[in-house]
Amino acid sequence: MSNQYELLTLFKDGGFMMYPLILCSLISFGVIMAKAWTLSVAHRDSQRLLAEIEDLGVGGRLEDAITAAEETRGPVAAILLSGLRRLRDRRAGARTDGADIKKAIATTGVIELDFLERGLPVLGTIANVAPMLGFLGTVIGMILAFQAIEIAGQVDPQLVASGIKVALITTAAGLTIAIPVNVAYNYFVTRIDRLILDMEEGAQEVLGLIWGIEDAGKLKEAS
């Protein structure tokens, strides 16, 4: 209970600039939790799926490969599924060439990448804005301190203490919010870069299946 009261006291002593800072912390916390869950799901089983699709594709089990991609969540599975379905349509006699499959894979990749990066601008903005709000609170606190000196007509530590307190609390609050948000932002960017590599590997996997089928067809025609 004492810790709760101390936090409430700090919030009160920080002045009205604490309200936007608290709002920033709540928004960033929500985005970080949602982003961590999204990327965890997206990254889960991606390498396993790539290996499984490769084995199934080499064995000619296209339907099993499609089923495996449908049962797996994440951008890698979405890209594989998009290409494999076009490949199935092509084998069924549809007018689908390699360029159409590449275009479908590229379109799916853009959509999935946009989904993965959703929320990052919010974190980047908060990481930049929170310290600035803290510094603005610092300026306001110093203004209040000098205003108290002006009204009293003398320099008294008790008069300027409240203003300096506002300055220090808001600065500390801004940095306390910005530092973990910045760390989370950089961590998410790293995870997304890893997923992009997996997505590119998945696209190459499907294209490899296309080239393998085309080579097999040419061998049959030659024989």
Q: What are the structural domain ranges in the chain?
A: 2-214
Per-residue pLDDT reduced to its tens digit, 156-210: 666 667 677 777 888 888 999 999 999 999 999 998 888 888 777 777 766 676 6
pLDDT of residue 182: 94
Model confidence band, residue 78 (pLDDT cutoffs 50, 70, 90): confident
Contact status, residue 112 vs residue 78, Cβ threshold 8 Å: yes
Evaluate whether 8 touches 169 at the Cβ level (below 8 Å).
no
Cα 78 to Cα 111: distance, rounded to the nearest angstrom? 10
pLDDT of 222 strictly over 50: no
Asked if residues 107 and 79 have their Cβ atoms less than 8 Å apart, the reply is no
Mean pLDDT for the chain overall: 77
Choice between 124 and 86, residue whose per-residue pLDDT is larger: 124
The confidence band for 75, taking pLDDT boundaries of 50, 70 and 90, is confident
CA atoms within 13 A on the CB side of 188: 26
Share of the chain above pLDDT 90, in %: 17
- Whole-number Cα distances in Å, 137 to 79, 86, 167, 180, 213: 48, 57, 6, 20, 66
User: Nearest-5° angle of CA 12, CA 177, CA 194?
Assistant: 160
